[in-house]
Structure 1
Amino acid sequence: MQKVEVQLGERSYPICINSHFNDLVAEYSQSKQVVIVSNPTVASHYLNSIKCLFPQAKLNYILLPDGEAYKTLASYETVLSFLLQHQYSRDVLLVALGGGVIGDITGFVAATYQRGVRFLQIPTTLLAQVDSSVGGKTAVNHALGKNMIGAFKQPVQVIINTQVLATLPAREFAAGMAEVIKYALIADKAFFSWLLTEHQAILAQDHLVLAQMIKHCCQMKADIVSRDETEQGERALLNLGHTFGHAIEAHLGYGSWLHGEAVAAGMVMAAKLSLSRGWLVQQDLDQLIQLLEVFQLPTAAPEHMCIADFLPYMKTDKKVKNGQMRFVLPISFGACALKDDVTEDELMQVFANGLH
């Protein structure tokens, strides 16, 4: 087993990475009330295995529709109503069995049901394993912006089973790789080189290589979250590519592009902005595009989107401060910074001929 600890004092928790589900902390396996939140696709593969982890529990489950389009207040309310109808107390343990959508909804419910209950993350997509299951960000989407309604709520444990990726569609696996590449661009150029070297083993889903890659990403995120849990500074760097990416998702309609696909295109757009400022050189941009293309990820915005389509969403982005847009930009390959001096005119000029 590979293990990473998220250090948050009394709220610290382990991330356990293995090729099975059997690393549940004994305290939680003895829970008397357990509700598993999942979707039909994931449940058909893994629900019975997860049920076996809680032999003493009054156990129930609820299945939500699959996809980003259902990461809504309506789904959140569906889970709340289920808990209330079945009269679950504050002793209940919620289990998020699924990708980022399930994890975010379950975590948001856990943050608010009876002012807070425990929840366990069992992520079943690569994107959730390397990113969204770690760090306690929970939210639902709104038509006017992605992840605009939510709360910080840390899980009690994260259990990552690399074997589940074998049932993940290729497109979903690629979307997860966008978040992996993000970590390299933010703070670890050597990791970027490692991804290029090991890309064939990653695509072949070699379990040892996957476990090493996932642990590296989780460790990077755990370290940042431990220093800046509620995104007052450094944690904002994890949003590289997301300001552009969230705009793509919201403009197209949630689910048209996967989150990782939009982040991939967003990273290229951020890199082009940095290139125009002289922080990156063309070779840096070319290397980023090369690695994204290895994993068949988009490297440009949707053809019909212009910069004017991005601006309304950027102006309501969570990083906006005092009415000023702020962007995470690479200032060198493997280092990023949060910048608040990007103007609309600069965006227009940089992307006039370079969005696609």
Structure 2
Amino acid sequence: MEKRLKQSLGIDVSKLNLSLSLGFLSERLVKEFKSHPDVSNDVSGYKELLKWLGKSVDSTVELLVVMEATGVYHQGIAYYLHKQGYAVSVMQSGRVKRYAQSLDQRSKTDALDSRMLSMLGLERSIRLWRPPSKELQQLKALSRERSSLLKDRTIENNRQGAIESSVYSNSKALKRHKNRLKLFNSQIELIEQEMQELTSKNEVLKRKIGFMTSIPGISYISAATVIGETLGFESIVNAKQLTSYAGYDVVLRESGNFKGKTRISKKGNSHIRAALHMPSMTCVRCNPTLKQFYNRLKPKKAKPLVALIAVQRKLLILMYTLWKNEEVYDADFETKKQQKHKALAARDNKLITQPVS
């Protein structure tokens, strides 16, 4: 039997079912695939999957399980297989989509998607997934709930304003709207208290949030939202990946004589972008470094909002850097950096101009 170099299980996840494809890469670099009928996305389906793997997997080669992040539906199987000792990789949808576009595959079915994920695991070097902590999962759920309530409150405010401005305003309807607004405000306040209590019980989380809130203009809620949405930057390895994850990566379309405009992709986490909008407006007023950065960019851009988005991107990278390095924000960091570069440049010039004896 020909030796196998790699084996990968691709799982296409939906709410109710899991589509499975097991791929093998031989030493002649030939790919072979085995399929299995769809199993249910619950414990009984997971056990059926384990039985099939026990019969089909090559025990001499480590198995890699590849799946795409699909909201909450992938979490059950990912946690289950990780607990069983399997190497699991949960891929971001954008990266999976770009890989799928590179294949000569015109049709799209669950079976083809699972085969594509299996092929991805065989061909690429993929970072493994680790389950995030319970506190981070709860923080993300609370920040999402708060975001949803804020949107509902805005809608209710607009409706109330329309009723008050109407000639035929109904006092009873207006009273009901005011009661609903009170309910929204009380629930938002309760959620914010829960977020505070959750992070205060975890000393590491509490300390790291302190580093992020040391940035002038960043509130606790903004920092907690970013941490929750990134699950403590668990899958982030560099600033470029972070900006892409949040949809702040810049894209440009040009072809021949056509010259497109640069813009952010917005193909990322919209909750992070929403959480940084108001802090960025505060930072350009009270943060010396970002204020200078904004004032330098603003005249060069057609719209002030473009410069503000650049501030949001820089702010997100700064938050990530402080979290990772466990440092307090230093307002004079850029000035010290420039002075250091000038000193090094002056020293190099002195060495160049110094006559050789």
Q: Same fold (TM over 0.5)?
A: no
Structure having the larger proportion of residues in helix: 2
Higher relative contact order (CA 8 A, sep 6+): 1
TM-score normalised by L of structure 2: 0.31
> Which has more radius of gyration?
2
Structure having the larger proportion of residues in strand: 1
